Chains A and B, each alone.
Chain A
Amino acid sequence: MGRFVRLAETDRPPVSLEIDGTMVTALAGDTVQVAILTNGFALRESEFGDGLRAGFCLMAACQDCWVWTVEGERLRGCSTEVAAGMRIVTKGSTWQIEPS
């Protein structure tokens, strides 16, 4: 169940990935944004305290679909294709700088 509704191309191979600690199923060729929004209703939280966001332009212009990998790499959800075993966090970067 999610915000986006699949209307076509549903016979692609499934891909498993982790979003905020939960395993979900997407389809090969999905963007990270589509993987998140076919499994849920929002993509991230605004850093400015006005609540949830789900992206806006889908053409790499607005930068409102940023998520992170658990390793701390920032991804633009609309222009990054899913890969099996991806571990995505949507609530801001979780990595910490190691104290030296």
Chain B
Amino acid sequence: MADRTVLIVGAGPAGTRAAERVAAAGLRPVVVDEAAANGGQIYRRQPAGFRRPAQTLYGFESGKAVAVHGAFAALGDRIDYRPLTLVWHLWESEAHLLTGTTASRQQYDALILATGATDRIMPLPGWTLPGVFSLGAAQIALKAQGCAIGSRVVLLGTGPLLPLVAYQYARAGATVAAVLDTSTLGAAIRALPALAARPGMLAKGLYYTAWLLKAGIPFHRGITPTAIEGTDGVAAIRYRTADGIERQVACDAIGLGYGLRSETQLADLARCDFAFDAVARQWLPATDADGRTSTPGVYLAGDGARILGADAAEIAGKLAACAALQDLGIAVPDAEMAAYRAALAPMDRFRVGLDTAYPWPAHFAAGLPDTAVVCRCECITAGDIRDVAREKGAPEVNRAKAFSRLGMGRCQGRMCGAAGAEVLADALGVRLEEVGRLRGQGPVKPLPLATGIAP
């Protein structure tokens, strides 16, 4: 059995716990991670030489962050850890890797994808100006580099990250000019029964919001952003209040995000079946309760499967590892897997609650002016997408991509995919699921021209 290769992609909470469980069974998994250090995004490490304590970096989550980092460190050479390595393609039970400019291949008997998520972005005019970053980026700048994204910062969008980043920025001494939330208090109240599935999480969210209000930081709910102003950089954000009044806030930086979207390209390259998820409004790889996909030997764990957050990712990592071990013929206690399944149950209820409280503003897509850039890689506008829908008859996103190059640029649709599909569905007058999903293509990220093959 010891010669069976389990390949784990990602070293965040899900990948770490998956690696730990596989190693506990006596196998030596290969762990490939694109970052220089383990931890993923949520428990991202600061570089060597930085001195802030875990409590400063991770707040209420510092105990969990330290535990995940410690668990990974304790694995030592019981895992074959390959940092700074990208999985850029999957083909016939082999992963194609890139480390620096050296390409190599890794065969696997089981593949656990723990690829995480990125911010879910709804564009608005001016969002490509210097000074506009994703909400996650705003947090990374502070957590991993000790920097604020500007000297007068507006945080815009919705989701649990919005008040959290505002709180972290204000606590660190940044000037938060305003928090502009597109969701309403009414939605938050409607979501309370589902959010009560995880009382601790709910309490933390309320704490951040109360802290911001007490600190006197302007926090406006139910707003509609209209445009970001500026020439060579952000100068202001314009928005409409819930009462329909036009307002403007001067700022030199904006953190923008509407929750998270699962990173699913590798699951697609592994030929997993996808199903439309009405909560996420995203096509997601179909899995069973344990993370098995439709492709034998391929498993998903963490936010790359669906957005359940870091605590769920740790459990899902262990559960997917158990499923993989079981399918490799290695005995796993039934009670262990049953316990993980039970622990995950409230997480999904909470997910539905979060979506109710902080809905993705799909309807903003219809209101985007034709001139608004949707694809920031290649400057493809909302008007370009409407044109391929109406004039060229693109019935779904892959035809729209072929006609307009939407999703064909260097980000491969990671930034524009969610909003682009909404613009297309609106232009065609169909439901979002009818425009399908962008097919993943290898390489999932650009390779350098100087790429050479490992000897």
Contacts and interface: CB of A to CB of B under 8 A. Distances in A.
B148 A7 contact: yes
A54 B49 CA distance: 26
A7 B377 contact: no
- Which of B52, B132, B150 has the largest count of A CB atoms less than 10 A from its CB? B150
Contacts, number: 144
A60 to B, nearest CB: 6
Contact of B130 (A38, A54, A61, A73): A54
Nearest to A13: B49
Contact of B51 (A9, A52, A63): A9
A48 to B, nearest CB: 4
B47 A54 contact: no
Interface string A41-83: 1110010111111111111111110100000011000010100
A79 B33 CA distance: 13
Interface in B433-455: 445-446, 448, 450
Contacts of A28: 49
Nearest to B449: A74
Contacts of A54: 130-131, 133, 233
Contact of B411 (A30, A34, A48, A64): A64
B146 A62 contact: no
Interface stretch (B60-68, B134-142, B301-309, B350-358): B134-142
Nearest to A4: B147
B145 A74 contact: no
A81 B147 contact: no
B130 A29 contact: no
Contacts of B414: 57, 61-62
Contact of B415 (A43, A62, A66, A73): A62
B48 interface: yes
B119 A57 contact: yes
B34 A3 contact: no
B236 to A, nearest CB: 16
B321 interface: no
Nearest to B252: A3
Contacts of A73: 448, 450
A61 B128 contact: no
Interface residues of A, number: 42
Contacts of A56: 132-134, 137, 376, 415
A56 B118 CA distance: 11
A42 B233 contact: yes
Given A12-B49, A29-B48, A59-B41, A46 B136 contact: no
Nearest to B48: A29
A63 B416 CA distance: 13
B136 A5 contact: no
B411 A63 contact: yes
17 contacts: A4-B141, A6-B147, A7-B142, A7-B173, A9-B146, A10-B146, A30-B145, A34-B141, A41-B232, A50-B128, A54-B130, A57-B133, A58-B140, A59-B118, A60-B445, A62-B377, A64-B377
Given A29-B47, A57-B134, A73-B448, 11 more contacts: A4-B147, A6-B147, A7-B174, A9-B46, A29-B46, A41-B232, A46-B128, A51-B231, A58-B133, A61-B118, A79-B36
Interface of B: 34-36, 41, 46-52, 56, 118-119, 128-134, 136-137, 140-142, 144-151, 172-174, 231-233, 252-253, 263, 373, 376-379, 410-411, 414-415, 445-446, 448, 450
